[in-house]
Amino acid sequence: MKMSLIQEQTLKLNMTQELQQAITLLQFSSAELLSYVQELSIENPLIEVKETYVSSYRHQSSTNTHGFVENVTKEKTNLKDYLERQLIDFSLTKQDRHCVNLLINALDSNGYLKDEMSELATIARVEEEYLESKLYFIQSLEPAGVGARSLQECILLQLRRLTERDDLAELIIQQHFKAFAEKSWKDLSKKLNISIQRIQEVFEKVKKLEPRPGLKFQSEELTFVTPEMTVESYDGQFHIHFHDELVPQLIIHHPLSTTSESEVKDYYSKKLSQGKWIQRAIEQRKETMIKVMKVIIDKQEEFFLKGKSYLKPLTLKNIADILDIHESTVSRTVKDKFVQTPHGLFHMKSFFSNKLEIGNEDVSTSSVKIRLKEVVNKENKQKPLSDQKIANLLQSLYDITISRRTVTKYREQLNIPTSAIRKQY
Residues 316 and 359 in one domain: no
Residues 127 and 257 in one domain: no
Are the C-beta atoms of residues 179 and 153 closer than 8 Å to each other? no
Residues 270 and 399 in one domain: no
Are the C-beta atoms of residues 356 and 402 closer than 8 Å to each other? yes
Residue 328 lies in a domain: yes
Q: CATH number for the domain including 373?
A: 1.10.10.60
d(CA 98, CA 130) in angstroms, rounded, equals 12
Residue 386: burial class (beta carbons within 10 Å; 0-12, 13-18, 19+): middle
Residues 182 and 83 in one domain: yes
Residue 150 lies in a domain: yes
Residue 224 lies in a domain: no
Q: Report the mean per-residue pLDDT for the chain.
A: 83
Q: Of 217, 245, 262, which closes a domain?
A: 217
Q: Of 217, 252, 272, which closes a domain?
A: 217
Residue 45 lies in a domain: yes
Residues 41 and 155 in one domain: no
Q: Of 348, 374, 402, which closes a domain?
A: 348
Q: What residues of the chain score a pLDDT lower than 70? A: 1-20, 51-77, 219-224, 257-260, 354-363
Please report the pLDDT score of residue 259 as a whole number: 62
pLDDT digits (tens, 9 = 90+) for 238-248: 999 999 988 88
Residue 148 belongs to domain spanning: 79-217
User: Is the pTM of the predicted complex or chain greater than 0.75?
Assistant: no
d(CA 188, CA 199) in angstroms, rounded, equals 8
Residues 183 and 291 in one domain: no
Residue 330 lies in a domain: yes
Are the C-beta atoms of residues 345 and 225 closer than 8 Å to each other? yes
Residue 5 lies in a domain: no
Residues 89 and 175 in one domain: yes
Residue 73 lies in a domain: no
Residues 6+ apart with CB under 8 A from 118: 128
d(CA 26, CA 335) in angstroms, rounded, equals 9
Please report the pLDDT score of residue 64 as a whole number: 43
Residues 21 and 105 in one domain: no
Give the chain's domain count: 3
Please report the pLDDT score of residue 11 as a whole number: 41
Residues 310 and 375 in one domain: no
How would you classify the pairing of strands 47-49 and 250-252?
antiparallel
Please report the pLDDT score of residue 69 as a whole number: 37
Residues 209 and 266 in one domain: no
Residues 138 and 240 in one domain: no
Residues 6+ apart with CB under 8 A from 243: 30, 66, 226, 227, 228, 229, 230
Residue 1 lies in a domain: no
